[in-house]
Chain A
Amino acid sequence: MPLKLFCCDECIPERQNHVYIKEEGEDTTQYLPLSNIETIPGSLSERGCSYCGAKLVIGGVIKDCIQMIHGPVGCAYDTWHTKRYPSDNDNFQLKYVWSSDTKEKHIVFGAEKQLKKAIKEAFKEFPKIKRMFVYTTCTTALIGDDPKAVCREVEEELGDVDIFVVECPGFAGVSQSKGHHELNIGWMRDKIGTLEPEIKSEYTINVIGDYNIQGDTYVLQRYFDKMGIQVIAHFTGNVTYDQLRCMHRAKLNVVNCARSAGYIANELKRVYDIPRMDVDTWGFDYIKVALRKIGAFFGLEDKAEEVIADEVAKYEGKLNWYKERLKGKKVCIWTGGPRLWHWTKALEDDLGMEVVAMSSKFGHQEDFEKVIARGRVGTIYIDDGNELEFFEVLDNIHADIIFTGPRVGDLVKKLHIPYINGHAYHNGPYMGFEGAVNMARDMYNGIYSPMWSLAGKDPRVVQEL
């Protein structure tokens, strides 16, 4: 039976529709796990909230904005500083966070005045910053505050500021995916096309779905610079608010993420006739394909081959060193959504590893179609996995290393299995040629660390010996 009910889920049998084990000859017309639906009561989900999806994942990356969180101060802290996306302006977006700091009295009497005060105070304290994101949270959405009206008032009063409002409280959707969606669609609707960029090349692209995790954007930018391609905007790695307003002037949208990233590309295609090209920017072989495809689009095949030749000369030897040591090792990928299908075949093709289990926190069925099409027979595919399921997976299969977040990572470490931070990386960047080597090095260091042979020993016993 390819849909699997874990023993730990016997009391929540609905979970069977979220777990699939691929068998020979099957495709996604036969089985596709349910996803992007409410977490089943009784299942301790590791999903984030919708507000978090908007702020922490997408908006918070932008490097020149005040990020004003309209709600209690905890909503600000919990989406600040926990994901490593640097910028070339001294990491402004990582250093600061702003909150309207709503309290009980604001919930009773309304928090709009408090928001207005906070916005004006923030602009005053950071006089060089003229752009702002405002996010609603559960409390301020429930009391019916109208942050858009407040922001229009402030824009009129101050004259030289531009504010984008994301109305996506934590409860708006079933996971952080709703936050990605609301921000992306809102930005397309309200901001793209409101500013004209300076065009410096006849070859222009947007890169949609690269968030500069530990410098991914810098890696991609170097390749495009060498090819003579101008990136109008990276959505949203190391990017300014105003660059993102200019996305309508690109000739091609290169998409590396899923679903609502694709929706932006689809809307740019519909409104501005800009084609969408989906690529994998993780993976040693995949990045070659991505560069060749972009090169073919612009007639820059030679330039693409030059970049590939340079990078292969620098990194292939290193990758092969790790391949010798990682071949046959078994991997689990328990991350958000797209990384499952970006990474599974890349790890197998580039390094000879075997991906034995994959779990997605917020992926949609589109993600599962891709990952099951690319993934191996016998691999376990899980939607919205919970901790007991993870433990049961590890009871039934051997895993040498697990890509996941720090919370689940700490759990698996207690089983003496190394984990790599699959969201924010251990020592990235992980994109591009050098990224593939970095990823391999982190896995090698995890698997071969001498710490694991010591971790199971009782130090008191060792001392006695």
Chain B
Amino acid sequence: MNEKIEEVTALIQKQCLWQFFSRSWDREENIEGIMTMTGKILNGDKINLVTPADKAFYSDAKFLAAEIQKKMPWLFELDKSGVLELIEGVKERLLYIAVKKSRNCELNLSNY
């Protein structure tokens, strides 16, 4: 699973701008929202888009899920719990790279 997590993380690092928003709070919000939505899409779960933020997460997640399906054939061997494990692992890696260990000095400034 670790290799799979690294593979998806590498894809997101190359493709997705949402991991590098302006501050820790919006990076955390995106990582949680978009990755959770990606998991739902990959697992074929019912998706209920209520808020504008849900719709935005869905838009990014839809693209990401399609990329994972296209580029990572091993995905289809995972059952639902495997997909969730993958998603949680990727969230953790992204939080590590883009938030917890980020060297960006502006991430925790309170003002713009």
Give the complex CA separation of A38 and B105 in angstroms. 15
B21, A373: Cβ atoms closer than 8 Å: no
CB contacts (< 8 Å) of A28 on chain B: these are 97, 102-103
Kindly state the interface size class of chain A when it binds its partner: 35 or more
Q: Is B104 touching A263 in the complex (CB atoms < 8 A)?
A: no
Q: Chain A CB within 10 Å — which of B20, B21, B63 has the most?
A: B20
B96 CB contacts on chain A under 8 angstroms: 29
Task: Report the tally of A-B residue pairs with Cβ distances under 8 A.
Answer: 88
Residues of A within 8 A of B20 (CB): 366, 369-370, 373
A:260-286 near B, CB below 8 Å: 260, 262-263, 266-267, 273-280
Q: How far is the CA of A347 from the CA of B4 in the complex (A)?
A: 27
Report B1-31 CB contacts with A as 1/0, cut-off 8 Å.
0000000000001100110111100100000
Nearest CB of chain B from residue A390's CB, rounded to whole Å: 25
Which B31-67 residues sit within 8 Å CB-CB of chain A? 51-53, 55-56, 58-60, 62-63
22 residue pairs A–B, Cβ–Cβ below 8 Å: A27-B13, A29-B96, A31-B103, A185-B112, A251-B52, A263-B112, A266-B23, A266-B112, A273-B53, A276-B26, A277-B56, A277-B60, A279-B17, A280-B17, A296-B59, A297-B55, A345-B14, A365-B103, A365-B105, A370-B17, A370-B20, A373-B20
Asked whether A94 is an interface residue with its Cβ less than 8 Å from the other chain, the reply is no
Q: Does A294 contact B (CB under 8 A)?
A: yes
CB B110 to nearest CB in A, in angstroms, measures 13
Binary contact readout B86-112 vs A (1 if CB under 8 angstroms, 0 otherwise):
000000000011100111111000001
Question: For chain B, what secondary structure do more than half of its interface residues adopt (helix, strand, loop), or is it mixed?
Answer: helix
Q: Please name the residue on chain A nearest to B56 by beta carbon.
A: A275
A293 at the interface (CB under 8 A from B): yes
| Nearest-neighbor residue (CB-CB) of A267 within chain B | B112
A41 to B85, CA, bound (A): 51
Ranked nearest first, the 6 interchain pairs of A and B with the lowest CB-CB distance are: A275-B56, A29-B101, A278-B17, A32-B103, A296-B59, A365-B104
Cβ contact within 8 Å between A366 and B55:
no
Q: Which residues of B contact A279 (CB under 8 A)?
A: 17
Given contacts A27-B13, A263-B112, contact A364 B106 (CB under 8 A): yes
Q: Is A49 an interface residue (CB 8 A)?
A: no
Task: Please give, as numbers and ranges, the residues of chain A lying within 8 Å of B101 by CB-CB distance.
Answer: 29
In the assembled complex, which residues on chain B have CB atoms less than 8 Å from the CB atom of A416? none
Chain A residues packing against B (C-beta within 8 Å): 27-29, 31-32, 181, 185, 251-252, 259-260, 262-263, 266-267, 273-280, 289, 292-294, 296-297, 345, 364-366, 369-370, 373-374
**A369's contact among B51, B63, B104, by CB below 8 Å, is which?**
B104
Residue of B nearest to A261 (CB): B22
- The answer to whether A27 touches B97, judged by C-beta atoms less than 8 angstroms apart, is yes
* Contact B63 A289, beta carbon cutoff 8 Å: yes
Nearest-Cβ distance from residue A202 to partner chain B, whole angstroms: 13
Known: A27-B97, A289-B63, A374-B14. A262 touches B22 (CB 8 A): yes
Report the nearest B residue to A349, measured CB to CB.
Answer: B14
CB nearest neighbor in B for A294: B59
- Which residues of chain B have C-beta atoms less than 8 A from A27's C-beta? 13, 97
New A-B contacts (16) at CB < 8 Å, excluding given A275-B56, A296-B63, A297-B56: A28-B97, A185-B112, A252-B52, A266-B21, A273-B52, A273-B53, A274-B52, A278-B21, A280-B17, A293-B59, A293-B63, A297-B58, A365-B104, A366-B22, A366-B104, A369-B20
Shortest beta-carbon distance from B97 to chain A in Å: 6
Chain B: CB-nearest residue to A251: B52
Give Cα A260 to B105, complex, Å. Answer: 15
Could you tell me if A293 and B60 are in contact, using CB atoms closer than 8 angstroms?
A: yes
Smallest distance from the beta carbon of B96 to chain A beta carbons, Å?
A: 7
Contacts of A364 in B (CB 8 A): 104, 106
Contact of A373 among B14, B23, B63 (CB under 8 A): B14
Cross-chain contact A263 with B13 (CB below 8 angstroms): no
Q: Are B112 and A260 in contact (CB under 8 A)?
A: yes
CB B73 to nearest CB in A, in angstroms, measures 20
Residue of A260, A296, A345, A369 near B98 (CB, 8 A) is: A369
Query: When chains A and B are docked, how far (Å) is the Cα of A279 from the Cα of B60?
Result: 10
* Distance (whole angstroms) from the CB of A414 to the closest CB of chain B: 36
Contact with A262, one of B21, B58, B97 (Cβ below 8 angstroms): B21
